[in-house]
Amino acid sequence: MNDIAILGSEGLAKEIYGIIKSTNAFKPSWNFLGFISKAKPKKPIIDEFLVIGDDNYIVDYERKINLVIGIADPKIRQNLFNQFKTKENVLFPNIVHPSFIGDLSNIQLGFGNIISTSCIISPHVSIGNFNILNMNTIIAHDSRIHNFCTINPNSNISGNVKINNGCLVGSNSVIYQGVSLGVNTILGIGSVLTRDTQPHTTYFGNPAKKIG
């Protein structure tokens, strides 16, 4: 099995551990080492697994290691990737829960992505790198998600939607067919988005409107 560790030790990191554990129960794949964090609690984060070190642990690690970035904030995920991307022994795998519904042979999937419990992805969807698709996310045909996006639970993304880099979609949101989200858009919880968004802006409501 391949060595793997999670960058982070909070709620999302625990959820990702659960995906790894479920994957191993279905098909043993990962030798989970523990969590990487500046915080150093004395008690285990979950099950028997501890924070095994900070960033220096990865710097000093000589064997091949797989890293999963368990941080929800897209900007922090990108900064962590930039920190470790030049280390030849560090890999960034896709972590896909066994309950995922879709045909990966007809989905374009980059690296470093996390696909959580009961996600549904239709054919001809393109997903870049370091995206988080949280529980029960639905992505319809021909949609494109770029890099470092966070799609929170129960979001429904219609066909031909384009989500640019660094976007965050709140839980229970709906994005209408053909809509494009500008870079670093934030879509609030429970919103229904029916039109394109401007970059670096926040939208909220039903129908979603620009706020702030």
SS (H, E, C) 23-44: HHHHCCCEEEEEEECCCCCCCC
74 and 104 share one domain: no
Which domain, by its residues, includes 116?
Answer: 96-211
Reading phi first (left if > 0) and then psi (alpha if -120 to 50, else beta), residue 168 is in beta
74 and 101 share one domain: no
73 and 8 share one domain: yes
43 and 127 share one domain: no
47 and 113 share one domain: no
Number of structural domains the chain divides into: 2
Model confidence at 40: pLDDT above 90: no
Is 149 in contact with 166 (CB distance < 8 Å)?
A: yes
By the 10 Å C-beta count (0-12 exposed, 13-18 middle, 19+ buried), 124 is classed as middle
10 and 108 share one domain: no
22 and 100 share one domain: no
pLDDT tens digits, one per residue of 138-194:
999 999 999 999 999 999 999 999 999 999 999 999 999 999 999 999 999 999 999
104-114: average pLDDT = 95
112 and 198 share one domain: yes
DSSP 112: S
H, E, C per residue of 142-201: CCEECCCCEECCCCEECCCCEECCCCEECCCCEECCCCEECCCCEECCCCEECCCCCCCC
CA dist 157 and 83 (Å) reads 31
Domain end residue (candidates: 93, 123, 146): 93
73 and 118 share one domain: no
Instruction: Specify the higher pLDDT residue, 72 or 119.
Output: 119
70 and 105 share one domain: no
Domain end residue (candidates: 93, 124, 147): 93
For residue 32, the domain's CATH number is: 3.40.50.20
206 and 134 share one domain: yes
Distances (CA, A) of 171 to 46, 166, 190: 25, 16, 6
pLDDT tens digits, one per residue of 56-104:
999 999 899 999 999 999 999 999 999 999 999 999 999 999 999 999 8
Model confidence at 41: pLDDT above 90: no
The pair phi, psi for residue 51, each rounded to 5°, is -70, 120
25 and 45 share one domain: yes
pTM value is 0.94
Domain end residue (candidates: 93, 127, 151): 93
The single residue listed with the structure tokens 């229904």 is 192
For residue 189, the domain's CATH number is: 2.160.10.10
